[in-house]
């Protein structure tokens, strides 16, 4: 049985959160997204930081750089898989939607019936949305709401959100270039290249293969939770991925009950680290400022024991501040960037007292965030006694998956 320390080390390495991940480490966010196949992006700016922090410091993009890539359509953002917002590259969007759309439609069906997004009314809405983004126009949500209103749709009370998700699933809309701080939608076919339909089993196997390329070791249950497909599909996909890669995707370890799988190429690279590199990678006092929905968190099924500090056995739930502070891959607090016009504040709530080495590592991580944002950053840290007085606060929860910008 692989112990939790080794599991954390291997996952941080595969995830690209350690600099020696693989020889061909992605040098740009688009390469990283392509390698990972889909990256959760529920929180728009923090999700971009999640990409940037995996890029070597010398070529790490800024927030302006990543935003420009999204505006140009090098990386797209849409509801897919579970579903919630994900980044994916244009050449993967079509088959990912084809693979998961049927299941997502079943999930959405209750809301669609409740909101009247059915039959001729739904067709009228989709036609109006398609017309609004025709001829290369990129439209904000407000503009799309106006277009829907013009054909008789009332878009309050969540209706607009579900109409837009329906339009994404039906391959009418996809993310467009931002207008100031507002996100837009564009015509799907404008930003997504044409591609032939794919066999479902083949597509599932590729999804499993690329899942493990950046998240192994992981179990069939992890893959199921991440992808939204049932355990039967997950196990079949992993077996097919093993067959199609000549065994590069393989069972991991001797504990069959754990159902762990890995990419043997990634595991070999992890094992080949020289002692100095391994010691730096596995430093248990090294701080990572992770976005709340980072793949290191969301790539695995609950209760995510590898994340938990020694004094916690419950599953870590979303709380406020939303984002995760980890040391050596273990959660030790929460943080949130508060970005203003000319500066940013980093709100920091520690769960325990930090060592000097951890504090130094945190200072380095804050400088990295500062460079990413291109703004001076100050740290607003909660007093330790207030943060550690009881269970971390859970009274302010983020919106349900799929609803955040």
Q: How many CB atoms lie within 10 A of CB 317?
A: 10
pLDDT for position 151? 95
pLDDT for position 385? 58
pLDDT for position 394? 36
- In 3D, which of 301, 360, 337 has the Cα closest to residue 82? 301
Edge-to-edge, what's the strand order for the sheet holding 184-187? Answer: 139-140, 184-187, 173-175
- In 3D, which of 309, 299, 307, 368 has the Cα closest to residue 337? 368
Q: How many CB atoms lie within 10 A of CB 97?
A: 23
- DSSP class of residue 182? B
Local confidence pLDDT in tens for the 405 residues of the chain: 469 999 999 999 999 999 754 445 567 999 999 999 999 999 999 999 999 999 988 889 999 999 999 999 999 999 999 889 999 999 999 999 999 988 888 888 888 999 999 999 999 999 999 999 999 999 999 999 999 999 999 888 789 999 999 999 999 999 999 999 899 999 999 999 999 999 999 999 999 999 999 999 999 999 999 999 999 999 999 999 999 999 999 999 887 777 899 999 999 999 999 999 999 999 999 999 999 999 999 999 998 999 988 877 666 666 677 899 999 999 999 999 999 989 999 999 999 999 999 999 999 999 999 999 999 999 999 887 554 544 443 322 333 334 455
Cα–Cα distance for residue pair 126/168, rounded to 1 Å: 10
- DSSP class of residue 195? -
Cα–Cα distance for residue pair 335/366, rounded to 1 Å: 11
Q: What are phi and psi of 234, to 5 degrees?
A: -65, -45
| pTM, rounded to two decimals | 0.91
- In 3D, which of 86, 49, 81 has the Cα closest to residue 66? 49
């Amino acid at each position: 049985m692989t112990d939790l320390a080794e599991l954390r080390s291997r996952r941080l390495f595969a995830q690209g959160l350690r600099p020696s991940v693989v020889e061909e480490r992605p040098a740009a966010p688009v390469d990283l997204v392509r390698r990972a196949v889909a990256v959760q992006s529920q929180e728009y700016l923090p999700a971009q930081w999640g990409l940037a922090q995996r890029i070597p410091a010398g070529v790490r993009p800024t927030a302006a750089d990543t935003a420009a890539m999204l505006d140009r359509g090098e990386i797209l953002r849409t509801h897919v898989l579970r579903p919630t917002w994900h980044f994916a590259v244009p050449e993967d969007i079509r088959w990912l939607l084809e693979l998961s759309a049927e299941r997502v439609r079943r999930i959405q069906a209750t809301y669609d019936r409740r909101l009247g997004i059915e039959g001729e009314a739904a067709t009228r809405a989709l036609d109006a949305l398609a017309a609004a983004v025709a001829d290369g126009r990129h439209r904000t949500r407000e503009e799309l709401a106006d277009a829907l209103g013009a054909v008789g749709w009332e878009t309050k009370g969540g209706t607009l959100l579900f109409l837009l998700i329906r339009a994404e699933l039906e391959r009418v809309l996809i993310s467009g270039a931002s207008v100031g701080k507002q996100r837009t939608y564009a015509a799907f076919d404008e930003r997504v290249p044409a591609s032939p339909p794919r066999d479902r089993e083949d597509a599932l196997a590729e999804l499993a293969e690329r899942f493990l390329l950046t998240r192994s070791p992981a179990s069939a249950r992890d893959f199921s939770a991440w992808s939204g497909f049932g355990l039967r599909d997950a196990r079949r996909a992993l077996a097919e991925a093993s067959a199609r890669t000549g065994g590069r995707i393989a069972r991991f370890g001797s504990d069959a009950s754990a159902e762990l799988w890995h990419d043997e190429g990634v595991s070999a690279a992890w094992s080949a680290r020289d002692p100095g590199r391994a010691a730096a990678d596995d430093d248990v006092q090294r701080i990572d400022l992770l976005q709340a929905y980072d793949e290191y968190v969301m790539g695995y099924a609950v209760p995510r024991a590898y994340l938990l500090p020694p004094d916690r056995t419950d599953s870590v739930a979303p709380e406020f501040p939303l984002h995760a502070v980890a040391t050596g891959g273990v959660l030790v607090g929460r943080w949130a960037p508060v970005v203003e016009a000319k500066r940013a504040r980093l709100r920091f709530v520690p769960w325990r007292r930090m060592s000097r080495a951890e504090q130094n590592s945190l200072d380095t991580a804050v400088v990295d965030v500062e460079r990413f944002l291109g703004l001076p950053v100050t740290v607003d840290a909660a007093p330790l006694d207030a943060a550690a007085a009881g269970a971390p606060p859970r009274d302010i929860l983020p919106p349900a998956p799929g609803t955040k910008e």
